[in-house]
């Protein structure tokens, strides 16, 4: 089993095993199924990082739903930049809908804060977030995160959809940057 991976001269150590990811994603889906029972859900998956999490999540959903994708860019290497660009926008009618944003990780929260504010102007019935990883010590906003799998330290992570300069998304486990 791969305990460490090296990428761009940095060492990453295994942090979350794939079997644990599988269990937690199922738990999150169960919570979502319960919360939206009898309702229709519009999932908005934030590309690219959330695509693997989303694909596992939706295969555990029993609630009726549709899937949409959006894309923003704000990261360069292992550092967040302040400027958020919308690369792929929402292209359905949000008004009166139950919106669930599916995101891989909330770091500063800048990306989702920007996106939630935009969505609210379109008057959805509800907006909630389902996120795999949350860095409480990096979070700079106060929007609620209803469905969350893991709180993690403020260190860069890769794997299970999360990249470092477009690499490492395919890794089955989640790896964390090793401290020097």
Q: What amino acid positions are annotated as catalytic residues?
A: 107
**Whose Cβ is closer to ligand IMP: residue 62's or residue 81's?**
81
From residue 49 to residue 88, what is the string marking binding to ligand IMP with x (rule CB under 6 A)? x------------------------xx----x--------
Query: Shortest approach of ligand IMP to residue 32 CB, angstroms?
Result: 19
Which residues in the 18-47 window bind ligand IMP by CB under 6 A? 46
* 4-11, long-range: CB < 8 A, 24+ apart: 4/175, 4/178, 5/158, 5/168, 5/171, 5/175, 7/158, 7/164, 7/167, 7/168, 8/77, 8/164, 8/165, 8/167, 10/78, 10/164, 10/177, 10/178, 11/177, 11/178
Q: Which is nearer to ligand IMP, 98 or 111 (CB)?
A: 111
Residues of the shown chain interacting with ligand IMP in the complex, contacts defined by CB under 6 A: 46, 49, 74-75, 80, 103-111, 156-158, 162
């Amino acid at each position: 089993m791969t305990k460490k991976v090296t990428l761009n001269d940095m060492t990453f150590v295994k942090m979350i095993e794939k079997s644990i990811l599988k269990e937690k994603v199922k738990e999150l889906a169960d919570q979502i199924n319960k919360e939206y029972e009898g309702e229709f859900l519009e999932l908005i998956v934030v590309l690219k990082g959330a695509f693997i999490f989303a694909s596992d999540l939706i295969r555990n959903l029993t609630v009726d739903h549709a899937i949409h994708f959006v894309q923003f860019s704000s990261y360069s290497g292992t550092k967040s930049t302040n400027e958020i660009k919308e690369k792929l926008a929402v292209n359905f009618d949000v008004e009166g809908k139950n919106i669930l944003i599916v995101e891989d990780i909330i770091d500063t929260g800048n990306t989702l804060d920007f996106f939630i504010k935009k969505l609210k102007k379109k008057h959805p019935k509800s907006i909630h977030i389902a996120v795999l990883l949350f860095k409480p010590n990096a979070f700079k906003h106060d929007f609620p995160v209803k469905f969350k799998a893991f709180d993690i330290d403020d260190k860069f992570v890769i794997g299970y959809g999360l990249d470092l300069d477009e690499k490492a998304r395919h890794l089955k486990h989640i790896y964390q940057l090793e401290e020097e």
